[in-house]
Amino acid sequence: MSMPSRPVSEFMTTEVITCHRSQQLRTVAAIFARLPVSGVPVVNTKGLLRGIITKLDLIGHFMPEYLDLFRDIDFIQDFSTLQSCNLDVLDSDLLLVEDVMDYEPVTVSPETSVLKCAALIHKKRTEPLCVVNDEGRLLGVVSTTDVCRAFFGKYDPPAGFLD
């Protein structure tokens, strides 16, 4: 069986950092600042998936809302003249994960092919995908790194390339 048609359970990341919706947002911000993860699944105390918060969700929360009105922002030459984003709000206990999280994450089953996961990531422009069982329990995540490992892992870099 070719790698892209193999189940995602063979390539997904199973050691996943998770959070709870009532946690302070600065906790997730600290994770994003220090670890190479693109998203943190939000689970309840039973490990059931309730949502996800991604780096893009967090960054987008601090962008001025009116930027969504423009299809292209290349015409803006000086961003310092725009409304500045207030990151100080992270210092308070008021901003929680539930204020920013996506309540409808893209999910797949462990049997889903790596190729379908790649198509979902590409089409929906989101990662990671959450891998859940029939009860909605989080089993792992699949990211673009996992997909690349499945697709291209058989290739070796040139000698000295990664040194």
Answer yes or no: is 163 within a domain: no
> In tens digits, what is the pLDDT along the chain, a chain of 163 residues?
556 689 999 999 999 999 999 999 989 999 999 999 999 999 999 999 999 999 988 888 876 655 555 666 666 565 565 555 555 666 667 789 999 999 999 999 999 999 999 999 999 999 999 999 999 999 999 999 999 988 888 777 777 776 6
pLDDT value for 161: 73
Answer yes or no: is 161 within a domain: no
pLDDT value for 137: 97
Side-chain half-sphere exposure of 163, counting CA atoms within 13 A:
4
pLDDT value for 80: 60
Answer yes or no: is 101 within a domain: yes
Taking phi first (over 0 means left), then psi (-120 to 50 degrees means alpha), and beta for anything else, what does residue 125 get? left
Which range of residues forms the domain containing residue 13? 3-152
Please give the span between the terminal C-alpha atoms of the chain, in angstroms, as a whole number.
33
CATH number at residue 123: 3.10.580.10
pLDDT value for 69: 55
Task: Say how far apart CA 102 and CA 41 lie, in whole Å.
Answer: 9
Residue with tokens 């302070």: 24
DSSP letter string, 31-46: HHHHS--SEEEEE-TT
pLDDT value for 82: 54
Answer yes or no: is 62 within a domain: yes
Total domains in the chain come to 1
Task: Say how far apart CA 44 and CA 18 lie, in whole Å.
Answer: 10
pLDDT value for 2: 57
